[in-house]
């Protein structure tokens, strides 16, 4: 186990300020060796619908919290997608029908099934990421029913949480788009979309996993002291 930009619209500024937190939080990443050694090459990724939860604002109504959570989830997805593209990994939305002829309802039903399965293992992923090395987690081959699966190497799940105890956390899980096997997981604590350090940390995780050109980009950045 390896331990270790899209523009944000102006209306997100208040949310980002609220979500930045001095509370320290655990951060780690884990991945299968076949990713790190490039026995499993990654050139494309299918972005699953993102999700985020904000729980520390007791004075906010549930409706306000849900709206803020949805906006933050979209911003997190844009962040992850931008960094994957910077590593020369093409991205596609899981909602895209492509040339499959699948209807929106058909795709939505498959997404719900996959999301239910992911929810059932996500807590274990966070608690026992080392088990990824043992191929202990899978979403099942139902992932192949997604139109984007045929043209993608990875399914990418973006999750965010923010509360008074842990602060803001970004979790990114990557699964084999054909078999559903979980291949990598990264968790960034004290996460702040407005802080370049969070971007550097995520790039370092991608470099450790050895995805696309992430390692090369990290070497260039470290040598020049410039984020690219």
| Rounded Cα–Cα distance for residues 126 and 124 (Å) | 5
The pTM assigned to this predicted structure is 0.84
Six-digit token pair at 157?
């799940």
**Domain positions in the chain:** 27-223
Instruction: State the number of CA atoms in the 13 A half-sphere of 31 facing the CB.
Output: 27
Closest CA to 2 of 160, 225, 148, 218: 218
| 94 and 111 Cβ atoms separated by less than 8 Å | yes
User: In the prediction, which pLDDT does 39 show?
Assistant: 93
Give the span between the Cα atoms of 104 and 121, in whole angstroms. 26
Query: Rg of the chain over CA atoms, in angstroms?
Result: 17
- Location of structure tokens 């951060």: 27
Q: What is the pLDDT of residue 24?
A: 38
Q: Can you tell me the distance from the alpha carbon of 212 to that of 79, in angstroms, rounded to the nearest whole number?
A: 17
Q: Report mean pLDDT in 10-residue bins for the chain, 228 residues.
A: 39 43 59 93 96 75 82 97 96 90 90 96 90 94 94 97 85 96 94 92 92 82 57
Which CATH code, of 1.10.3470, 1.10.287, 2.40.160, 3.40.50, is assigned to 27-223?
Answer: 3.40.50
Contact between residue 179 and residue 114 where contact means Cβ atoms under 8 Å apart: no
Q: Is 46 helix (H, G, I), strand (E, B) or coil?
A: strand
Q: Which two tokens stand for residue 152?
A: 């993608």
Helix (H) or strand (E) holding 8: none
């Amino acid at each position: 186990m390896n331990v270790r930009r899209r523009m944000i619209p102006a209306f997100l500024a208040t949310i980002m300020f609220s979500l930045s937190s001095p509370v320290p939080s655990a951060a780690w990443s884990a991945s299968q060796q076949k990713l790190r050694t490039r026995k499993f090459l990654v050139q494309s990724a299918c972005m699953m619908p993102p999700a985020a939860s904000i729980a520390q604002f007791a004075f906010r109504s549930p409706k306000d919290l849900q709206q803020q959570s949805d906006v933050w989830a979209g911003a997190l997805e844009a962040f992850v997608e931008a960094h994957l593209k910077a590593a020369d990994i093409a991205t596609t939305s899981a909602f895209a029908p492509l040339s499959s002829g699948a209807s929106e309802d058909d795709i939505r039903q498959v997404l719900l099934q996959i999301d239910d399965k992911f929810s059932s293992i996500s807590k274990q992923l966070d608690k026992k990421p080392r088990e990824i090395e043992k191929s202990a987690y899978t979403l099942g081959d139902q992932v192949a029913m997604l139109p984007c699966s045929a043209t993608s190497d990875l399914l990418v799940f973006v999750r965010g949480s923010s509360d008074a105890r842990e602060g803001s956390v970004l979790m990114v899980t990557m699964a084999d788009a054909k078999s559903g096997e979980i291949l990598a997981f990264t968790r960034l604590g004290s996460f702040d979309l407005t802080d370049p350090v969070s971007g550097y940390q995520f790039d370092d995780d991608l470099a450790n996993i050895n995805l696309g050109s992430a390692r090369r980009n990290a070497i260039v950045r470290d040598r020049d002291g410039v984020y690219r």
